[in-house]
Every structure is written in structure tokens, then in C-alpha cells.
Amino acid sequence: MKIPKKVKIGANTFTIKRGSFRTESDMDGGFLEYETNILFLANDLPETREATIFLHEVLHGLNIYLTEEQATYLSEGLMQIIRDNNLDFRK
């Protein structure tokens, strides 16, 4: 999945920033910062993991009340469906 430089989620546009960061609560390699509209992704992730984490953070952007567990289940399920069925939404 090609990760864009910016993504619009609802009324907000988030800038994608990559870097080396890891915190105890950031075990998946990404987080969304609502105050600055930045979606952070670790720069050392395998492609499949990066796409799953991107979807995870987008889901948080859509619904700030999703728990980490809910966002993880949804993002991993969506990624599996997209990959297993070779879905390309650009067509």
C-alpha cells in the first residue's frame, strides 16, 4: 500500500510523518496526534505492517472512542481482506 503524505479523515487533514520513535504505549509503531493533525509512523516497519498500522491510526481518526484492541482487530481484518483479495480501490 502506498502511504500518502497527507490523509483527510472526516473534517481534518493529517500530515504523515515518519521517524524513529517507540514508546511503551506505541508498541505498534504509530500514533495519531489530534492537537497537531499529525499521523506518525515508524520508519523501520515492514511494508505489510506499515499499511496495517496506517489503517489502525485512520480508524482512530474516524472514531476517537475505539479502544486499541478494537482498532487493531478492525485494521488487521481489513488488511487481510484487502491483501487476500488483491483489492485495488483506484480502479
Mean pLDDT by 10 residues, the chain (91 residues): 92 94 65 94 88 95 94 95 89 65
Q: Please give the pLDDT value at position 56.
A: 95
pTM of the predicted protein model: 0.87
Q: Please give the pLDDT value at position 1.
A: 77
Q: In angstroms, what CA-CA distances link 73 with 15, 34, 43, 78, 80?
A: 24, 22, 23, 9, 11
Q: Please give the pLDDT value at position 67.
A: 95
